[in-house]
Structures are given as C-alpha cells and as structure tokens.
Amino acid sequence: MNDKIIYLKDRKYICKNTIGIWFEKRDTEYDFIAGQYAEITLLDKIYSDKDGDARLFSIASAPGKNELMFATRAFDTAFNKNIMELPLGSRAKISEPGGNTPLHTDASKTAVFLIGGIGITPVRSMVEHIMAQNLPYKVYLFQSNPDKESMAFFDEFDKWSKENKNIKYIPAIDDINDNEWKFEKGYLSEDMIKKYLPEFGGSIFYIVGPTVLVDKMESILKKNNVPQENIKLERFG
C-alpha cells in the first residue's frame, strides 16, 4: 500500500498547554469515520528523541474536509518542537484510521460524551460532523477540565449548542472558587450527569480521557445497568 502523505498547514496554541495542528491532504485521498484516530509520522524532522517521530492522534476535524486537524498537549518533546518549528508544507505520513470511538450510525440513539482533558479531540470531529451534515442526533457533551483556560474548543461547542437545540453542552471545571465561571464546577460525577440526563437507557456513551476519569465513568455506567455494548472508551495516558 502506498504511503499517504499530508502536509503541515498550520500550528498554534488553541488554549493553555494545547497545540492545534492542521495538515493539508492536497491530492491524498483519506477517508475516516468521525471519532477515529490515526498515527502521524513526521518525514521532515529537525529534532529526535527516544519517543520517536510518530504519534497517535484522534482526528479533531470532520470527515470530508480538505484539511485534517489534530490537537496535543504541549509537552516538551522532539515531536512537538518539530511541529512548532518545521516550515509549513513539511511532509508527514498518516496511517489508516482506527479506534474504539467512531460515531454510532443509528441517530435515534442519544450520544452521551463523558470527556476529560485532551480526550475532547475525537468529540470535536463527531460534533462538527453532526453539524455539517445536519444529522438528527441528540447529544449530551460533558467536558471536564481543571480550569476554563485549559478547555479546548470551548467556544466552538458553546456556539454549536446554541445553533442546534439537540446539542446540550455541559462544561465543568475543577476550580470551584472561580466566581466568573457560569457553568458546572467540580469533578464530573454521577450526580452531575443525572442532573442533565436522568435516564441512561437507549444512549450510547463515549468515555475519553485520563485513565482515572475513564475508570470512574465506566463504573458509574455499570452501576446504572448500561450494557457494555453501549459504552465506547479510550484512555489517554
């Protein structure tokens, strides 16, 4: 199989400690399902380290666009230094897509996202896809972060939820002392979920984020008799 080559288009900080990365597909055909990930291997590199030149990233943009978007926490790695310093147009190889959290196809089933930190990236792809295709999904998006400044894609999700009555956006921050924050405060919990979603039946749940959050959310769902086949999860770190 021929390598699929993409080209660095842009990179910038999109919130505290988070870098957005955009690649052009140009003449490369690349199809994926909203919610999948791919491995990116830098071909034109300046720096190297023990972690290598490849990384797995959830695709943050919707299918069918001419560019692919990704996001990563701004760790001090050779990969991230390359992303920030390589000339625009530098080449990368992208693998075939994969992952455990592609958007389910039955739009009559509510999509419930229980998300922590950078785990929000595949959700952006799915929600943008729902918006772009005007799909009739009902969505509950719980997004948990330490503070507002680290809440990736907050403005987009807030905007989409105001444009689409079927999308309920529930951002929550750990900082309970932030008096300017008008949304939920405290860690994502069973009580917070049930405040907006009293009944769990008939929904497909997506849990993506740090292992501690994923394990806690999965335990809550099992306690409430959610079938395993209705739970999709990915652990980040």
d(CA 216, CA 227): 16
Query: What are the residues whose beta carbons fall under 8 Å from the beta carbon of 134, sequence distance 6 or more?
Result: none
DSSP run (H or E) holding 84: helix 78-85
d(CA 65, CA 25): 9
Give the per-residue pLDDT at 160.
98
How long is the chain? 237
Provide the pLDDT confidence category of residue 236 given band limits of 50, 70 and 90: confident
CATH 3.50.50.60 for domain 110-235, yes or no, is no
- Residues 70-114 pLDDT 10s: 999 998 999 999 999 999 999 999 999 999 999 999 999 999 999
- Residues 116-162 pLDDT 10s: 999 999 999 999 999 999 999 999 999 999 999 999 999 999 999 99
* pLDDT score of 1 more than 60: no
Query: What are the residues whose beta carbons fall under 8 Å from the beta carbon of 137, sequence distance 6 or more?
Result: 107, 110, 111, 130, 166
d(CA 20, CA 125): 13
Give the per-residue pLDDT at 27.
87
d(CA 233, CA 214): 7
d(CA 3, CA 203): 38
CATH 2.40.30.10 for domain 4-94, yes or no, is yes
Give the per-residue pLDDT at 3.
80
d(CA 19, CA 71): 6
Mean pLDDT, all residues of the chain? 95
Tokens of 200: 């769990």
**CA quadruple 2, 93, 24, 126: dihedral sign:** positive
* pLDDT score of 233 more than 80: yes
d(CA 68, CA 29): 12
Give the per-residue pLDDT at 23.
98
Q: For residue 31, what are the CA distances in angstroms to 7, 48, 59, 105?
A: 16, 30, 11, 16
- Residues 34-60 pLDDT 10s: 999 999 999 999 999 998 899 999 999
53, 95 Cβ separation under 8 angstroms = no
Give the per-residue pLDDT at 237.
61
208, 234 Cβ separation under 8 angstroms = yes
- Residues 117-130 pLDDT 10s: 999 999 999 999 99
Tokens 């309920």 appear where?
168
d(CA 157, CA 54): 29
pTM strictly above 0.85: yes
Domain boundaries, the chain: 4-94, 110-235
* pLDDT score of 2 more than 80: no
Tokens of 149: 């400044």
Tokens 């996001």 appear where?
71
* pLDDT score of 183 more than 60: yes
